[in-house]
Amino acid sequence: MRFVDAHIHLSDSQYSDRTSEILAVAKQTGVVALLANSMDLETSKLSLKIAKEHQGLVYAALGIHPWSSNHFAPCELEQTKDFISENGACKGKVVAVGEIGLDPQYAKRKEQKEQQVTIFNEMIRLAEQLALPVIVHSRWSAQKILGILPSYRLRGVLWHWLSCPLELLPRIVERGDYVSEGPPVAYSDRIQEVIRDMPLERLLTETDGPVRYYGPFKDKPTTPALIPEIVKAISEVKKAEEPFVAEQILHNFAHLFDVRL
């Protein structure tokens, strides 16, 4: 079976001295594609560097995470936009704008909330111009994001680690968006409900490494080598054969990010 990790932060400092080792183990496990997501300008640069060094295995998503929006001055926003614009046409390397989105946990004050929304809109507008899909962070903000997205014509949307109210899922499905889930599918009732209600044709797998998890993943380092266990858990929820689920998820990744696997 072949697997994909549609959301990992390979540019994170926790991976910095063992990226090659992690990727080697990923390949041995059957992982054939990883999407390195970014948080700001520096991690966007590093994500692209890793994608260039491991072409055909690692792809890059460049963008500004809502956590980073509090630290951004206007000049830094423009510098990041310029970098993404200059490299967004890097075929086979840059395949998305991400990780972008909204998160009230990182925006307590009014001006912080406004800054988040401004940066999110700037990132979406850039993705629209570059004809790239977006990777959306939507913790406690899915409803608000669903109100923003229709203003843009996007190539595709991937809702990363989606845990929104189930009544919003039909709108996400109707839009033709994708959802990626990770290790919590093995132990979280809420995530299992999302998996149950999402069409398999719109699902992807992720680790969101280096985030750590509970359940059967407690005390385990988060690497792409966990993906087969995630596919197994999805198969159990969907009551489908693992090879069938793995192949469909692989197809979903290739279609959304316009890559050949």
- Domains of the chain with CATH codes: 3-257 (3.20.20.140)
pLDDT digits (tens, 9 = 90+) for 105-134: 999 899 999 999 999 999 999 999 999 999
Confidence (pTM): 0.97
Question: Structure tokens of 254?
Answer: 């290739």
What is the predicted pLDDT for the residue at 78? 94
What is the predicted pLDDT for the residue at 69? 87
Question: Per-10-residue mean pLDDT for the chain, 261 residues long?
Answer: 98 94 97 98 97 97 94 88 92 94 94 95 97 97 98 98 96 98 97 98 98 95 98 98 98 97 94
Buried b (16+ CB within 10 A) or exposed e, 199-237: eeebbbbbbbbbbebeeebeeeebbbbbbbbbbebbbeb
Query: Is residue 241 exposed (0-12), middle (13-18) or buried (19+ Cβ within 10 Å)?
Result: exposed
What is the predicted pLDDT for the residue at 222? 98
What is the predicted pLDDT for the residue at 63? 97
Question: Structure tokens of 14?
Answer: 């926790």
